[in-house]
Amino acid sequence: MKIVLINPPHTAIGSRVPDDHLPPLGLLALGGPLLDAGHEVRLVDAEFGPMSLAVLVDDALGGDPDCVLIGHSGSTSAHPTALQIAGMVKARSPRTLVIYGGVFPTYHWRDILAATDVFDVVVRGEGEATIVSLVEALDRRRPLADVAGIAYRDDLGHPFATRPASTIADLDAYRVGWELIDLSRYSYWGGKRAVVMQFSRGCPHLCNYCGQRGFWTRWRHRDPVKFAREIAWLHREHGVELINLADENPTSSKKAWRAFLDAMIAENVPVLIVGS
């Protein structure tokens, strides 16, 4: 299938850093598995410019995609923009399926699907395994009810959620689709070539004010040596100078974090690691 990933232009002032822009890790994390499953995938990053919504939709619908995936890691503030983009896509191309994912739609899928019909499917929680299963079901016209971790409107038009998807135990089982972007365009901390990465997901603490606990469900980490090797590859092959960690709590395991630092020392690359 032909799939377009859309990173909406950020609408919250806290999301924008003058003259710098980081790649949308969440969408790239879906792009890698989709490419490996044999689909045609491209990314429209509307943060550059930022793009007007009209130009964004023109770009996204170029090539007549089967599916458009809209995501944003800080998705509560971006929801009004995502809603507008979805409506414009549907007005121009009603047959194009619009899939929505992120923290906000994960928690509020029922409200979203009840309020509008411009989103066809919501992906709830971690998306790597779910999006591959969903696109396969759509491609082969299989029942969506068999796909775990999604929500959609049933035959009566009512919001319906399938069973939750299993938590991804092995974070190295799915790769980030770095080839979907030109890494030379992304920077942070005053023009340093930069990317966003995750060593771990989740947090072991049970703070009742934190939404990450319900989204990631439990703390897990990548293989420390493989993670360091990927950072070194990004530096040597693409000139990446800075890694911005998207982790909630990367040092939860002292043993795993020490193993990662030892692996970085062994790689011997001059890369800054920032925890924000």
pLDDT of residue 15: 53
Asked if 107 contacts 125 with a C-beta cutoff of 8 angstroms, the reply is no
Report phi then psi at 257, rounded to 5.
Answer: -65, -40
Q: Give the pLDDT confidence of 157-202 residue by residue, as tens digits.
A: 999 999 999 999 999 999 999 999 999 999 999 899 999 999 999 9
Q: How far is CA 179 from CA 1, 171, 173, in A?
A: 18, 19, 18
pLDDT of residue 73: 62
User: What pLDDT score does 258 carry?
Assistant: 98
Which is it for strands 272-275 and 242-245: parallel, antiparallel or unpaired? parallel
- pTM beyond 0.75, yes or no: yes
Query: What is the model's pLDDT at position 16?
Result: 59
Chain segment 126-157, per-residue pLDDT in tens: 999 999 999 999 999 999 999 999 999 999 99
Per-residue 3-state assignment (H helix, E strand, C coil) for 164-215: CCCCCCCCCCCCCCHHHCCHHHCEECCCEEEEEECCEECCCCCCCCCCHHHH
Q: What is the CA radius of gyration of the chain?
A: 19
**DSSP per-residue letters across 133-150:** HHHHHHHTT--GGGSTTE
Round to whole Å and give the CA distance between 71 and 119. 12
Residues of the chain under the 50 pLDDT cut = none
* Predicted pLDDT at 191: 92
